[in-house]
Amino acid sequence: MNAEDGENNSEARDSDSMGKEERIRQVLGLLVETDLHMPPNVILHNCKERGATFERRTVNRYLKELLEEGYVEKVEGTDGFYKATKEGREYYYGDSS
């Protein structure tokens, strides 16, 4: 049981030690890789499924930054859904020349 606890603690530390840019990239990556339109609570849920430890207010803050950079946009006619932009996909995949 101790070894298992150690692994869980290690995973939590790894996620906690993830830098802000990596966490923002995780949020953007979810939108880019799935090509879906999602509200912040669904983005949070899926990021947590991928190992994220941040909270809803963090997702909101990252989405605001990504929106300001032009990497995501709000989907018209929805109640707060976001999607990746062409620029966001290019940035994520490293084609930001």
Is 28 inside any structural domain?
yes
The range of the structural domain enclosing residue 9 comes to 2-92
Which pLDDT value is given to residue 95? 76
**30 lies in some domain:** yes
Is residue 97 a part of any domain in this protein? no
pLDDT in single tens digits along all 97 residues of the chain: 444 443 343 334 444 567 899 999 999 999 999 999 999 999 999 999 999 999 999 999 999 999 999 999 999 999 999 999 999 999 999 975 5
Place of tokens 């994220």: 52
Q: Fill in the amino acid letter for 73.
A: E
How far apart are the C-alpha atoms of 13 and 9, rounded to whole Å? 6
pLDDT of residue 18: 75
pLDDT score, position 96? 52
Model pLDDT, residue 1: 41
Asked whether residue 55 is domain-assigned, the answer is: yes
Report the domain count for the chain.
1
